[in-house]
A and B are shown apart, each in its own frame.
Chain A
């Protein structure tokens, strides 16, 4: 009985840790940046990109975001963690609007 209680207790307390802790993000000026995709959140159409100067950009895709690979429009599911991308962002206030995302490899 004590073992069952211990397992239930451990399970109950482990579940929340399935959520990863969040990292800080950076704001950059409008422009084009190259980097590696750090994280993809498909359900939110969101990616995090680590730029070459170690900035972490949080980018929410919108209707006007163009996602391309070799000049062809591709779907969001083509984005992979660790993949290299070039992003064209516009800074609106402190929010980064992704105008274009190009998959480089």
Chain B
């Protein structure tokens, strides 16, 4: 509980920073104006542009952190993340296809495609999860699914009609939260809430799975149903996050490890802290992407990996001891 309060405090601090700073620097008097008159240009920068973007980063990061924690628990593997079952690859491929087909002009078409791609992959994995207990089976199947998603994306690149479309696809695959507004947040909320609900439902089973499939199977819990719920939850969360921000790696892998030690390494207790840690990570990464001076704005996926990977290596170094089983 103390961990959650601490993390929430951190999240609010990160959000405040993210709203306060950005590409355009404001003087103190301008901040005062913005608060006095939200309709003023300064107010528009803070509450019309930065605030929804920061909240979108928080929501996306939370979804990825939670999905990563659920995947790690389900597969009993500290290296698992939302991408491991091919969900993000299919989501990205479906979005790329939508862009190339020129659906970008239709509102929500690309976002829906991203979510649809994730759900298609998620459904395939869920069918498998209901039938087979062993995490290795799921991982192998996921690797195949991810490779297929990657190949479809490459094929779309290959056959793409124009360089402009290619640039669009590439931008999507590298992840960005530029120009996200409140309506984007509203649209992502429903699938994310549903996904989080599935994850919460499956939480208890993750703890049981720590002792192996057979112990879990005899624990009295409806394991087949709970495994499907975990996969469905992770797929919804990942799909909604790709729809919101494109493909962003790393957050789902790293967030659970940042809080694991403080949550007694319990795969159920680690879920909520992982979500908040993921939110903090992505809000800060997006802030960095905006304030680092560069010709064009840095891509969010680039920033998360560039700054997150060394940090993660440090955490992994410290945690390595407890992974030895």
Q: Do A and B bind each other?
A: no
